[in-house]
Amino acid sequence: MDLLLKNQIKEKIMPLRNVIGYSEDEQPRIKGGIVIKGTKVIRVYVTKKESKLSLMLKGVKIPKSIGNIETDVVEIGEIKLLQTPPTIRKAKNAGLIGGISIGHKDITAGTFARVAWLNKKPYFLTNNHVAANSALDSGEGGKIGDLEYQPGPYDIVSELGGVVSDKYLVGSLAEFAPLSAVKPNFVDAALIAPTVSVDSRGWFNYVQLDLPFIPAPSAVKAPEVGMQVAKSGRTTGVTYGVISDTNATLQISGYHDKTLTFEKQIFITPLSPPFVQGGDSGSLLLETTNDEGISMVGLIFAGSNTIGVANRMDEVERAFSSPLMWNGPFFWEAGKEYVSDAPVEPLPPTPSGEVYYLPVQKEVTIVVNQPKIYKGSSLLMNPNEEILTGELFVVSGKLIDTASGLPIAGKTIYMDDVISNTNSEGDFSFMHPSYSLAGSYLIVISFLGD
């Protein structure tokens, strides 16, 4: 969209009552919830569609066309920041993993997206309004060094019946992309530096998708209209949708009583509403149909009852003091200082002369246990034996004691490199990626024993 046309939209459409945004790219027309292929319009986003008579009585008229391009009014509901009371994924986790509750000391709760690396150091990625209490360039909001908790403060008090204290501390605010009430914004993002102490917790470079955990992907992909995506959030868990816009401009309120403008945003239409709810802010948006593996597409930060809104991940990764990196160890031990993967300096040359070894002594404590009693176990599987290409499917089953027939709880089941833990009934479940080609495929489920 050229600058002249963009200015016409801002002058003629954005000031109108009920209008909250528009698409900066020409998009197909949407009629009755169905995308009409072969059409090109300027989408105008409103909180609620009104009748022509109602608009006429209020003196509101959205032009049928702008610059010879037709307009299409699309109702998307009231867009809100996703920072409200939680329902699931709100427990205190021994090791942090993408998709769980986290939050700044002065907010309710949001979602921890994943581990990211900045200048070879690990940080927890989420939204600015989750980790920095909506830090604005005018000074409102959080400050560097502010305390961060897992789960978020609301979950600690209202869900766990606890008190916000060092018991739940996981880090401090390290860096954020400042938000502006004057200039357009592209991302709502911040980084938390993990706490390193005897009471701190480790982290996994994984994202929780239903029961299985998947390694957090290192690939970033540009969003496309029609792309199938999923998100993992603390309130609604894993939900699936389709990208309906890749370059939306919209206005969002709730940032310290200010309304902010965001450009180049992604809109996601849910396959089964809702796609997001309060508390899902910070969720990682993933492409689910890539044959080469799952890719990151965006970072969820807002939504309504009909759509989810995300920043582009290629904008997020360059929003900080240095570009974010995504490769690192899959696990880091609690209380251990992270050491970067910088090259090790070579040792100085050994001096010439006769070699002498200094004395050394080391103590070690051994533990003597009773002999282990090994029992037989059996895996029962319930796979979808026939599926369609491009279709995600569930592989589930049960782990039982061979002798008694009773379920075995709390054990780790493997499907390739993905893990699932059995529940109290011995049940486990995996969401299997889709296959792009027809044929027969061998699925291997394993319990490696104790």
390 and 440 fall within a common domain: yes
Same domain, residue pair 411 and 433: yes
The answer to whether position 403 is within a domain reads: yes
Whether residues 241 and 314 fall in one domain:
yes
Residue 159 confidence (pLDDT): 84
- Per-residue burial over 8-33, b = 16 or more CB atoms within 10 Å of its CB, e = otherwise: ebeeebbebebbbbbbbeebbbbeee
In a domain, 397, yes or no: yes
pLDDT the model gives residue 43: 87
Specify if 360 maps to a domain.
no
Same domain, 303 and 217: yes
Q: Mention every residue, 6+ apart, whose C-beta is less than 8 A from residue 313.
A: 220, 221, 285, 296, 297, 298, 299
Which of 32, 57, 75 is the last residue in one of the domains? 75
Write phi, then psi, for 375 (nearest 5 degrees).
Answer: -120, 155
pLDDT at position 359 is 52
- Please state whether the predicted TM-score (pTM) of the whole model is above 0.75: no
Query: Domain containing 155 — which CATH number?
Result: 2.40.10.10
The pLDDT assigned to 338 comes to 62
Per-residue pLDDT, 391:
77
pLDDT, residue 83, reads: 53
178 and 120 fall within a common domain: yes
Q: Is 419 part of any domain?
A: yes
> Would 349 be classed as within a structural domain?
no
The phi and psi torsions of 328 (rounded to 5 degrees) equal: -175, 180
Cα–Cα dist 424/409, whole Å: 5
Instruction: Using the 3D structure, point to which of 280, 313, 335 is the last residue of a domain.
Output: 335
Separation of alpha carbons 441 and 438, rounded Å:
9
At 405 the pLDDT is 86
Final residue before a domain boundary, out of 304, 335, 366? 335
Same domain, 219 and 167: yes
On whether the CB atoms of residues 432 and 416 are closer than 8 A, the answer is: no
pLDDT at 86: 41
Residue 281: per-residue pLDDT: 95
List the domain range (segments joined by +) for residue 13.
3-75
Whether residue 170 sits in one domain with residue 36 = no
* Residue 411 sits in the same domain as residue 326: no
- Judgement on whether residues 329 and 428 belong to the same structural domain of the protein: no
Instruction: Let me know whether 108 and 88 are in one domain.
Output: yes
Residue-level pLDDT at 335: 59
Backbone phi, psi, residue 54, to 5°:
-60, -45
- The residue ranges of the chain whose pLDDT is under 50 are 84-87, 211, 342-352, 355-358, 360
pLDDT at 358: 46
Q: Is 292 in the same domain as 424?
A: no
**Total count of domains within the chain:** 3
Judgement on whether residues 84 and 171 belong to the same structural domain of the protein:
yes
